[in-house]
Amino acid sequence: MLLLVQAAAGLLASVGEILLMATPLYAVLPIAMAAVLFVLASKIVRGRRWAVLTAIVLQWLGLLGVWLGVLLGLLPGLAPSITLVALLTEVALPVAVIVLCARLLVTLPSRHTSTYGGAGGSHGAAYVDVWRFRDVGAGGRGEPV
């Protein structure tokens, strides 16, 4: 959900830039970033490890960009614009996404382990909850419900 909020905030900021600069060229990068964030959010919901890792890397790159902007703001003639909204959307939101993705990464099954205990990956992991069995007692096999 936080990735969707981040994408929406980027799109909203691009609308402001388009209105102030009077050219739609400023919307290209925010629209592309929003599309990437939408895809990552949908893949993370489906449990894709690569999407979680990609989201973490993108958030770290965003934080690196913020710190680079602060360092450039120390040069004479450049003034950093640090606002509460910028701190929330460019620092707090990415940190929250990194923390939540890191916690999710720990709980996602690795592709080298199987839910059934055998080697060969988690090919049947998506179907674990499809079959439920009635308990027929100790050691007995149940029947599908």
Mean pLDDT of 9-20: 91
pTM for the whole structure: 0.70
pLDDT tens-digit map of 119-132: 444 444 444 444 44
Position 114: which residue type? S
Q: How far apart are alpha carbons 101 and 106 in whole angstroms?
A: 9
Q: Which long-range contacts (CB under 8 A, 24 or more apart) does 55-61 make?
A: 55/3, 55/97, 55/101, 56/97, 56/98, 56/101, 56/102, 56/105, 59/94, 59/95, 59/97, 59/98, 59/101, 60/94, 60/98
b/e burial code for range 43-78 (CB count within 10 A of at least 16 → b):
bbeeeeeebbebbbebbeebeeebeeeeeeeeeeee
Residue 112 has pLDDT above 80, yes or no: no
Instruction: Tell me the backbone φ, ψ of residue 44, rounded to 5 degrees.
Output: -65, -40
pLDDT tens-digit map of 32-86: 999 999 999 999 999 899 999 999 999 999 999 999 988 988 888 888 778 898 8
pLDDT range class, residue 142, cuts 50, 70, 90:
low
pLDDT for residue 139 = 55
